[in-house]
Structure formats: C-alpha cells, structure tokens
A and B are shown apart, each in its own frame.
Chain A
Amino acid sequence: MLIKIVWKNIWAKKLNSFLCILLMMFGISIISLLINIGNQMQDKFSKNISGIDMVVGAKGSPLQLILSGVYQIDAPTGNIPMSELQSLQTNPLVKQVLPLSMGDNYQGFRIVGTTYPYLKHFEADYAVGVVFKNNMEVVLGATVARKLNLKLNESFASSHGFEKEGEAHGDKKYKVVGILKSNNSVIDNLILCDLKSIWEIHEHEEEHANETPEKHTEHANEATEEDFDITCALVKFRSPMGLMTIPRLINQNTKMQAALPAIEINRLFELMGIGIDAFKALALAIMLISGISVFVTLYNALKERKYEMALMLSMGGKRTKLFFILMFEGLFLSLSGYILGVLLSRIGLWIASRMLDQNFNFDLQQSMLQKEEIYLLIAALLVGIFAAVIPSLGIYRINISKTLAND
C-alpha cells in the first residue's frame, strides 16, 4: 500500500515527475559517459605508453610524433635515416630501440614495418600462425583480422598513404602468416611486417615512378640497412639517467627530435581535461536543477496535499510513515533518473564507439558499473534526499485539527 501511494502520487503528477527524471537522467548520463570514455581513453593511452620512454623522429610537433609513433592515430612527422639511430643503439644508457616505418595501409588499417621486439614489447600472442620471417609476410592485429575477415595465407595489395583510397601497390602482395589475439593495445589495429618489406615496396615504387634524380641516387647503391629511411623509433632506457640527458642531446645535435610520451600525453590530457571538466560542471548543474525540480515538486505537492496529509494523520497514519512516503517519492524520482541515465550513457557509449571505430579504428568497450558511477549513485540519492527532506519535514508541522477545520 505504501508503494502504491508513492507510485500513484508520482503518476498523478506525470509531467512534473517526468521533468525531474529527465533532468536527472541527462545529468547522470553525461557524467557517466564522460567517466567511461575518459577512463577507457586513459587506460588505452597509458597501456600503450608503458615501457616507452622516448620517441625519436623527424622534427615537428612532439605531440604529433607521439600520436603517430605510439598510438598510430596522427600522420607521421616525416622520415629519418636509419643511420641516425646507430649512435642511439650503441649508447649504454639505451636498453632498446624499436624502429617503425609507416606509410601504407590496407583498407584503412596501417601497415607498420618494424622488428620482432616491437611485437614482444606489446606482449603479442598469436591466435594462429607465426611471426613474419621473410619479406612481404605480415602479422595481423586482432581487430584488423576480424574487420577485414582475412585468414591465414591470404594475400592482399597495400595502398599508399593512410586513406583507403590511396594509390595501390598492385605488383607486390603481402601474405598473412600470423594473426594476433586481441590484447587491447595499439597493435590490435595494425598490420605488422618486417622493415625490409616496406623498403622493398617503396624501392620498386620509386624505380617505377622515376622521381627526382637525387632521391633516386640516394637509393641507387642497394644494400646496407643504414641507407634506408624509417619513420620513427621507440626508445627504452636502461636508467632514468638516459631520460635526463639523451633527449636534449638528440634535439640539439641531430636533425631528429626526441619526444617524451609521458610529458606529451600529460599535456594532451590537460588540454582535454579542460573540456571534460566543463562538461562535468554542466552535467552537475543539470543534476542540481533536477534536485531543485524534485524539491519544488514535492514542496508544492505538500502544500496542495496538506489536507490529504492531515486526513491521513487523522485516520491513524503516523507522521514517520507519511514522512517516508514523501521521501520515497523524491528517492524514486532520483533513482529512476539514475538508472535511466546509466542506461542512456551505455547507449551513448555504443554510438560513440561506432563513430570512433569508423573514423579512427578505436573502439570503446561496454563496461560494467564503474567505481565513479557508484559515487554518482550516492550523489544522485543525496540530491533526492536533500530535495525531499525539507518538504517532507513539513509533515511534522501540520496541525491536524486546524488544517481540517479549514480555519
């Protein structure tokens, strides 16, 4: 009966209740969506960054270098000669250098030339097949294999650039020798091959195209690795000493630039953080308005229902019981707003995931209730309680005989 009274009272004020729930729903869903996207981005970004202390590449924007080199989402800054890495590789402070060479794609997925340690760095595990051993052999990331429906031993021709519509390298075909298990890192979205495969393709390319004479001569005398260009290299240091000295050395003494992922990503998050904070403030304001709307609804209800309340009191209703009837009304509104809000945020997440996936090959997982969302639940309930408590306390001030006597 108590539930029935609460429900009937809410139903009797459909529009008011709807407004309260709607406001709460939007507030909650915006915050929850931001929390989810923020958490997953941070998770993905920091997972891919782990272990990489420095990225070297052509001069340009350091953030761009990090985004293109580590996350494979921006265009590369340019090329650097492999020979420049030599001194780095022999430096005692450097633990490992992972060279990367990009510039081609297949159906929008980047083909990255690298060496075996790059796969090992991301702890790549094979679903089927083995690592590339010969030229023109590739290993597919899990997402690539799933989306393009490529199987072992199938072959494909790459195209130039990072857009699907790039000019095709028709004469040389890649062969799939391995497919990786998904591990939620950047390699899920990559097609990996040996550095030499990339060089081989572009060498032919240049011969055919017969570009500028100088460039041609540069590649004219075949052979040693040092003559080739790569896009960038990921560097791990043996000790923090490396971090202190090497980036400066590179930036001052070579044509390359060194960028530190930790710093650049912090900068990126700081930039995004302003936007996210603004959204959060907006969402909190919406929640607060919802609280006020619950308050006004209940407050007016109490005024209108003063007679009802006095009547129920005269019929043996206890003030505590009536107090809880009003409290439950407030709580029901904020709680259902919360539940709908979380549901809406999941739908939003799904839509955002579809959009990001189409444009950036970056997808978001549908997640369970995040820790922050539990706090959000508590916040929503507090809003409900605070909005309901003042009108509800009015129950204790009702003078039955006076109210009903209609003085």
Chain B
Amino acid sequence: MNTSNQGSSFSRGNNTQADSNTKTFVLPDKCFEQRAACVFRSGNKFSIYPRSQTVSKAPVSIDNKILDVRQDILLFIPILRKLVNESNGTYISLQKAAEAAKTTDNQVEFLKLSRQYRSIIRVCIESLQESAAMEQDGVKKCNLLSYITIFYSVECIWHLCEILYIDNIPGDVVLPFLLEWVRFHFPCHEQTAAQMLEACERGSEDHPEYWDTVIGMIVQGRVDVARALMKLHSSVDSNEFKLVDNSLRSMPVYSVYGGISTGEFTISWKHWQAECRSKITSRVLTSQPKLELIMKLIIGDYAAFESIRGSYSSWFDLLGGWVMFTAPWTRRHELGAPAAACAGMATPTHAPRTHLDQMVRALLDGDLHQVIHEIQQISDNGWFATHLTDILFHCGKLKILDKHQNNVTARLRDSLILEYGCLLMEHKSLWSAGLSYLGSCPPEGLRRAELALERMPIETEAKAMRVIAEAKKYGLNGVVRTVCACASSRLLRAGRIGGALTWGTRGKHGAACGRAAHAALRQYAARGELPAQDALLTATPAMLPHHPLLLAVKYSDFHRLYKSREFKKAGKLLVSLITSKLAPDYFWETLLLDTLPLLESDELIFSSEDTIEIMLCLELKSSNLSAEKADLLRLAAVRNLARASLADEDNSNSE
C-alpha cells in the first residue's frame, strides 16, 4: 500500500528549543512504531518507510506503508499562483532593465518596476481579502487571514525599502515620503477626521474621539487637517485656540526647492520652536491640557510623545511626527536615531516586539544584511526575499560582506533566486516560471534547470515539444536529447516505430535511432512488412555511418527501387548492403533471401563479382539460414555466376 500523505495533516510539535532551527512533526496515527527509515526524493520531498535493523525469526507484523512527505508550499495555492506568475513577468522585465542599465542610468525604470511589484502584492492582498470574506470554513478563513497579515507586512517593508533605496528623492530629504508611508500603512483616525470634517458641526469636541483624532493628525504631520478640526471646537475663538492655531500656521516647512539653504531654514525653524517653547513656559495653556500637549508635540518633546504612545499599536505611527518635529531635514540614511527614539518609548501594555518591528528597525538602521535575514523568516517561501534582494542588487544599493570582508552580494542574490527557482520547478505547472528564474542565473541555474527538467515526467508529445522549446531557449542541448530519447522509447514501447524514429532523429540521439531501426528490421524479419516506410524513406542517416538506421533506411530504399522495377539499381544497393556487413545476425537471412528473386530473374542483374561476394557472405553467415534455404541460394548463385561469366566472356570478345 502506498499512502500519499500530503503534509498538511501533520501536526506541528512543540518546539522546545527556541533558538534551534529544527522543527518536530508528529507522524499521524503513530505509524512505524517499530523502526523507520527515510530517503530523499526529488525537490522538497522525502519518503518514510518501515525498516527493521534486527533480524527476527518470527515474522513481525509491520505496517506496509510508505509515507510521502512534502513541504506544504504556500505559494502553490491558487490565489498566490497569480502572484507567482505576475511577479515572474515583472522579474523578467527587471532583468532586461538591468541589462539596459549597464550602459545608461535606469533608475526611473527600476522605480516603475518596484511599484509594479507592490501593486501585484496589493492585488494579491485584495483577492485574499475577497476570498476570506467568502470563506465559511473557520480554519481556512484563519489561514487566509494569516496570509493577509504576511503580505501586508511584505508590502509595508517593500514600500519603505523603495523610499530608502530605490526612489529618487530630491536632496535625500525623506520626511514627506516617510509621512506618506506612515499614512498609507497606519491609517489611524483618518476616517473619523473625514467624518467630522464632512459633518462640519461646531462643538465636535463632544465626539468621544475628537482629541485623539486631532492629535493623530498632528502626529501624522497633517497640520492642515488638525487645524481644520480645531476650528470645529466650540471655543475656537478663545485665546488659547488662537495661540495654538497661530503656532501651527507659522510652522516653517522645509523644501529642497524652497530656495533657502538648510542653514537658513534651521535658523528660522529653531526660532519658531523657541517661540512655541516660550508659550508653553508662559503657562497660558494650562487651562487646556490637550492644547498644551499639542504644543509639546510640535516642539518634539520626548515625554509628550511617550505619553501618547499607548494609544497607538506600534511606534511606526509616531515616527513621522517625531522626525517632523525634531529634525525635518533628516536625510534618508539618518533615520536610525529617530527610529531608536520612537521604538524606545515606554508602552503601558509592554507589547512584545513583533517581527515587523525588527524588520523596520533594521531597515531604518540601514542594515540591509539584517533586513534580508529577517525577511527570510517570513513564511512566504522566499518570494519576498528573492524579489527584493534582486531589485536592490540591480539598483546597486546592496552591499553585503561576509566575515572575511569579501563582497558576497551577487552570491547572496543568486542563491536566493536559485532556491526560489528550484521551488517553482517542483510544481507541475509552474515549472516554466521557475525555469525563467534559473535561466537568469547562469551557469549554476542552468545546471540545476537541467537536472530538474530531465526528471520531469513527460506524458504527452505536446509537453515534450514545449519542454524542448524552453530548453533550446537556454541552450540546454542535453535536455533536448534526453527528452527526445524518452519520447522515442515511450513510442517504441507502444509499438510506434515511425514516431520513435522521428523523435530519435529529432534529438540526434544515436542510441534511440538505433533501437527504433532495430525494431523496424526485426518486425520486417518476423512479419515480412516494413513498418514506418514513410519515415524511413525521408530519414537522413548521413551523419550516422555504421549504424542500424543507415541499414534500415537503405533497405527501405531497396524496397522502393524493387517495387518500381528498377532491378539493376536495387541489386546494386542490395549487394552493397551485404558487403558492408552492417546487418545484425537476425537480419542476414532476410538480406540473403532477397537476392534470390534477383539471381533468378530473366535479365542478368548481378555481375560475376557481385555473385561471388554474395556467395562469400552466404558461406560466412550460413549459420543464420536453414540448410534447405542455403542450398537453394547456393544453386541460384552458381547458376547466376555461370550466366554472368558467359556474359563477361561475350563482352571481352566483342571488345
């Protein structure tokens, strides 16, 4: 019995050692309690089977089971297959763009492709959300929701990467992009703000989330929205409100194209902050603690930020505001310190640091090695790590050194792509996508592709033709030959000699052609009809001297000549076939007996030399013929020799 167990039914054992990389899986039904052995199969598959080391005399009853175990690949579910295929297209365009970038600067193209990747992820999240909403089954729904979380953080990280490494930011001043990132991925209070502004009612402070929303807008850097919301407060005309509104309005905004230098801007900005600070110290705002908080936030007061940290699920929400109100001129590679400040803020709940936290920290610190290490831990089967590393590599932004300070960037990128390509090669349908990844990583990728393609089951000629077309694209001639030989022997097994011969010649595979030719000759020797005449007549054996195919082709040509009553030519061909001694033992009888009608024909066909050759071969190979037939042939040959000698005599006399 062969149970094929598809992985999913395995329950994941508790991982007791937190930092070891091993995972324990409990086999179902406690099978193989005796002893078990395990072998690797192709790809990520292995088989477990019962095996006993001890020899026991009494037959032990063991389960006759072989368990096929394979990794459950997330990317192979239908929704994510769309992601795999679509991103494959973008990947190929990226390789082309990278090729072009060798001669010209292609940064804009890279940014376009990076956006394309992100939109593919967003489409994927959307369709996951759609199907999660429709899913009834609890477990499946839960799975889909966890996939959404995975790809959500993938997109978040990719976006930040794009800002920090791929996008072309004027003057490297990252603030507007950072704020955009925060707003896009952590849209807090946005809806409430929109609702309140739409309602446009004086006295909106009765709304339970009024102040949270105003502060949320400040922290996201949307000063205009915050000011508009404050106008909805019933005591907007009070002095305190006017004061804060004035401070917010007069905040200097830095812009590279603003026409002032960084130094100049810093002076005016510092001046503005000092003004704000003096307003706080003058204690005019003590009656309005919320307004005081806002003032403290906009001067970048650490304690103030820390006090509101509890209302946000993560420190990313505060990052934009922190940079904006402490150092708006921050360049994109200077984000480590603000990130550390925000991440260090005490939280009332002491929520554990998430994986996303670590990835964002590493990214803001500029430690791409760590980032790639972290994103490899995401359970998306390497999709993200592969594509992100590839694009960063082509942008020239990735530089990774090993412990001996060697640059291993290209090797890292290649190894990720090879891994991902091999993963796809395992799938029945996605192999062609996998091949394009392996093909972009020569020479190692092509060697791997060769191994994988040779092991791929090919059931139809259509698939064989497609595999050959792909293999030729990458110059894998070995694969072409193997596939042709397999197709040939499959047809030969089915008794289709013509087809077998065609595939053999297609692959220029001598052995396959030989087998087919032997089959054809044997079938003729046994049944007296030559199969696949059409194929033999047009075959081109010129490049295969001393080959059974040559014999088969020439022999079928002999039949053609004989049928069209060109006996002279046919006889000449037959003698050359006999004298060349190409024929295998089983075919000698046929060849020699074919001379009989020509020897006995009314017209003289074989010359005396030819006849002597035939007689010589007859004696050499007489063991292949029955005595009766041999005698018959000898008689015919002698009679022909006599006729031929007389004719020779006549010819020489007439001369």
A binds B: no
Residues of A in contact with B (beta carbons under 8 Å apart): none
* B contacts, CB < 8 Å to A: none
